[in-house]
Structure 1
Amino acid sequence: MEGKEAVDEGAMIQGQADILQYMFHFADSMALKCAVELRIADIIHSHGCPITLSQIASGIDSPSPDISCLARVMRLLVRKKIFVASPQSDGGDTLYGLTHSSRWLLQDAEMSLAPMLLMENHPWFLAPWHCLSRCVKEGGIAFEKAHGRQIWDFASINPEFNKIFNDAMECTAKFTMRAIISGYKEGFGCVGSLVDVGGGTGGVMAEIVNANPHIKGINFDLPHVVVTAPEYPGVCHIGGDMFKDIPKADAVFMKWIMHDWGDEDCVKILKNCRKAIPEKSGKVIIVELVLQPDGEGMFDNTGLVFDLVMIAHSSGGKERTELQWKKVLEEGGFPRYKILKIPALQSIIEAYPE
C-alpha cells in the first residue's frame, strides 16, 4: 500500500504541475505579444548579431524603459526557446539572439506571424473565448455572445477591427501560398483556367498565375470585395455569391473558405463547384486543415486548437478530420479525392466529380 500511495501522490503532484502549466499558458502568449509590440526581434535583427539587454532597451520606443521588467520577460521567452541567451565567459553582459522561432516575430520580414499574433491576443478576439462554456450549454455563436453581432458584421462597422483582421489574414496567406506554390507545382500544370472562390482582392490568384503563366485566373468574391481589387496580369475579377453560382473554369481553388461554414453550407458550395467545372476533367483544389486527433506531427496539436478557434471566431465553422471531409465531399458530388501534404498547417485536398 505504501508503494501505491507514493505512486498516487507522485501522479497527483504531476497532475497539479500540469494544470498549473496549462492554466498559465496565456502568459506565454502575452509575453510573445509584448515582444512583438516592443519590436524586440526587429531590434536584435537590426544589429545583425546578439545584443545586450541595454541595447535592446535603447531600441524600444520609450524614454525610460524598465530594464528589470524587460529582463524578466526575456527570461521566460529564452526558457521557451523563442530567443537565445549567451552568458559571456569574461563576465560581460549576457547577449540575446534570435532563433528560428523569433524570426517569425519580425514585423519587417516578408514571412511573419506578428500580425496574426497581435490579432489573436487582442481583447476583441479574446472575449469570445470566455463564452465557450455558454456555447456548450446553449449552442450559438461565441463571437456574437461576446460582441452582440457576428464577426463579419462586427468587421463591417469597425474599421480598426477590420484592419487587424485583414493584416492577420494577409500575413498567413503569404507563407501558406509559398508552401502551395512549391508543394503543388504539378497540380497546376494541367489547369487552363482556375477560379479562386472567396479570393478576396485577388492576391492569391495573382501569385498562382505569376508562378503558372499558362493559367487564366478568375478571382471570385462578393461584389463589394472585388470592386476594390487591383488589376493583376492574367487575372480577372468577378463579383457574385458562391451559394448561388460560381464562374466556370477547369478547376476551382478554395483556401481556408470551407472551415468557416457548417456541413450543410459546405455541401451547397461544393454542388456549385461541380456545376462550374468539366464533368470528366475538372477538379476542386481545397486548402484546409485535415485534423489528426491522435497525430504526432508538428502541426497536429495546433490543428485541434484551430478547431476551437472556429468556435470562438467563426459563424458555425469547424476544422475536419479526413472522415468528415469524405462525408462532405461525397454529399457535395465529389466521390473521389486525395490528400496531399505540403509544408504548412494545411493540406491540399484534390476532389474529383467522378
Structure 2
Amino acid sequence: MDSAEERLKGQEEIWVHMFAFVDSMALKCAVELGIPDIINSHGRSVTMSEIIDSLKTTTSSSSFPDADYLTRIMRLLVRNRVFASKFDQESNQVCYDLTPSSKWLLKDSEFNLSPFILAELEPLLLKPWQYMATCVKEGGFPFKKAHGYEIWDFALANPTFNRLFNNGMRCTAEIIINAVLVNYKDGFDGIGSLVDVGGGTGAMITEIVKANPHIRGINFDRPHVIAAAPVHPAIMHVGGDMFADIPKADAIIMKWIMHDWGDEDCVKILKNCYKAIPKTKNGKLIIVDCILQPNGDGPFDKTGLAFDLLMMAHASGGKERTEAEWKLLLNNAGFPRYNIIQIPSIPSIIEAFTE
C-alpha cells in the first residue's frame, strides 16, 4: 500500500498535469499582448506601470488595460521562468525583465517562436484535442471530427487559418534550418539540385541555397501553399502532389513532413522520393524529423512525445517514430541504408541512401 507521503505526491502531480493548460494560455496571452517586445524596447527591466502605458498606445479601445489581471499573469510566468522579476527599492515597484526563454518570443529576433505559439494555441487547433478519447474508442482523426475536414483541406478553404498555420511553420523552419546548416554543412557538398518536399513558402530551401549557392533549389508543395511563396531568383516553386510525383533532383530534403502521415502514406511518399533521386553515391534523401526516445532524458525527448500526440490530434494518422520504425519505413521504400546525425533541436537528420 502506498504511504501517505506517496499518495500526497500523487495528488500533487495530478493537479500539476490538470492545469498544465494554464501555463500555455498565460504564455499565449503574453505573446498576444507583446509583453516580451515591450520589455525589450526599454532596454532594461520595466515596471508594471510602464508595461501598462505601452499597452495603452497599442489598443484602440476606450477602456484601460487591467493592471491587476496582467500582474497575476506575470506572476505565473515569472514562476515558470518565462520572465524574471525583482523588487526595485527606488520606485517601490516590481520590475520585470526578459529571460533566455522570453528572448525566443521577440518579434525582431533572428529566431522567434511566437508565431508557432499563436498557431498551436489557436482555438481551431485546440478543438481537436477534445476528441482524443472519442477517437481512441471509435477510430478516426480528431481534427476531422472537430471540423469535418482534414487539416490540409481545411487550410485550403480558410485563408486566414492557412496564413496563421504557414507563419507558425515558417518560424520553426528558420530555427531548425539554422541547426541543420551549422551541424550538417558538409552534407550539401556535391549536390547540384535539391527539392524541398512540403517546403511551404520556401523558407528552408531559400536558406540552404543562400549558404550553398552551387545548389539549384526547388520548393515543392501544394499549389495553394506555394501561391503565397515569395519570389527568389535561385528557387523554383513547383506545385503538385507528393503522393503522385516528386520533381527529380540530386537530393531531396523533407522537414517535419513524414510525421504528418501514417506508415502506409509515408511509404508512398518515400517510394516517390526513391524514384526522383539518381542511383549514384550522391543521390540521397535528407529527412529532418523527430526520432523518439521514449525513455530518454535529452533536452527535447519529452517534447518529442508531446509532438507525437500533436500529430495524433492534427494530422490524419501522423506520428513521431523511433529509430526502429524509421528503419522499417525506409527499407520498405527501397532505401537499403541510412545514417542518423543529431542536431541541437527537436528533430534529427536521417540520411537515406539509394544504394
Partner of 1:353: 354
Identity %: 57
Given the alignment of the two structures, is residue 40 of structure 1 paired with residue 35 of structure 2, yes or no?
yes
Amino acid at match of 1:318: K
**C-alpha displacement of 1:181:** 1.3
Given the alignment of the two structures, is residue 118 of structure 1 paired with residue 118 of structure 2, yes or no?
yes
Which string of whole-angstrom CA distances, capped at 9 and with x for unpartnered residues, describes residues 246-284 of structure 1? 222111111111111111111111111111112132110
Partner of 1:210: 210
Structure 1 residue corresponding to 2:23, chosen from 11, 15, 28: 28
Distance between the aligned counterparts of 2:39 and 2:227, measured in 1?
41
Distance between the aligned counterparts of 2:336 and 2:206, measured in 1?
30
| TM-score, with structure 2 as normaliser | 0.94
**C-alpha displacement of 1:316:** 1.3
Matches within 5 A, 1:188-207: 188-207=188-207
Aligned residues: 349
Partner of 1:334: 335
Q: Secondary structure at the match of 1:28?
A: helix
Partner of 2:344: 343
Distance between the aligned counterparts of 1:317 and 1:118, measured in 2?
21
**C-alpha displacement of 1:109:** 2.8
Partner of 1:127: 127
How well do the aligned residues superpose, as a CA RMSD in angstroms? 1.6
Matches within 5 A, 1:46-125: 46-60=41-55, 61-62=58-59, 63-89=63-89, 92-125=92-125
Given the alignment of the two structures, is residue 14 of structure 1 paired with residue 5 of structure 2, yes or no?
no
Which string of whole-angstrom CA distances, capped at 9 and with x for unpartnered residues, describes residues 196-245 of structure 1? 11223333212111100111222222344445544323222333322222
Specify whether residues 130 and 294 from structure 1 end up closer, same or farther in structure 2 by C-alpha distance, changes over 3 A only: same
Partner of 2:252: 252
Q: Is the 8 A contact 1:41 1:98 kept in 2?
A: yes
Amino acid at match of 2:74: M
Q: Is the 8 A contact 1:340 1:349 kept in 2?
A: yes
Task: Name which of structure 1's ranges 56-65 and 188-197 shifts more when overlaid on structure 2.
Answer: 56-65
Which string of whole-angstrom CA distances, capped at 9 and with x for unpartnered residues, describes residues 37-72 of structure 1? 111111100000001111111111354122122111
Partner of 1:173: 173
Q: Show structure 1 runs of 5+ residues with no match.
A: none
Q: Is the 8 A contact 2:291 2:320 kept in 1?
A: yes
Distance between the aligned counterparts of 1:89 and 1:23, measured in 2?
37
Distance between the aligned counterparts of 1:263 and 1:315, measured in 2?
11
Specify whether residues 252 and 43 from structure 1 end up closer, same or farther in structure 2 by C-alpha distance, changes over 3 A only: same
